[in-house]
Amino acid sequence: MSDFSALTAALLAFRDARDWRQFHSLRNLITSLNLEAAELLELTQWKTDAEIDALPADPKAGEALRDECADILLYLLLIADMAGIDLAEAARAKLAKTVDKAFGSRAKYTELG
């Protein structure tokens, strides 16, 4: 069992124990993932690159950064579970699409030949 599988199983048990499945349509999960991503982005608002780089070392900011990253991961796991996506395999496949094409380029992999 992968770490994602074990974490997903724990997350589903947590969700089901609270009767939250009723709120977890694919649309709602995708929306919630984006809201959490916006909360992660908000941690960087109006900060310099140096201030952003220092976030992990600051106890309060580091905790907020960890919490938002965790929220994003948890929603992504719920989305993947509902859609039948093996995230580890999808990530490996995505890397394979990109690895040889993107060396030294900032262009999106779909723009590369």
Q: Which of 86, 89, 47, 43 has the alpha carbon at shortest distance from 66?
A: 43
pLDDT in tens, 59-97: 999 999 999 999 999 999 999 999 999 999 999 998 888
Six-digit token pair at 78? 């719920």
* pLDDT tens digit sequence for 5-51: 999 999 999 999 999 999 999 999 999 999 999 999 999 999 999 99
Cα–Cα distance for residue pair 62/78, rounded to 1 Å = 24
Q: What is the mean pLDDT of the chain?
A: 92
* Alpha-carbon gap, residue 54 to 38, rounded angstroms: 19
Residue type, 14: F
For 3-101, which CATH class? mainly alpha
Listed by start position, the domains of the chain span 3-101
Cα four-point dihedral sign 36, 72, 19, 31: positive
Structure tokens at 30: 């995708």
Share of the chain above pLDDT 70, in %: 88
pLDDT at 95: 86
The per-residue pLDDT for 109 is: 66
Summarised one tens digit per residue, pLDDT across range 22-35 is 999 999 999 999 99
- Helix (H) and strand (E) counts in the chain: 5, 0
* 100, amino acid identity: D
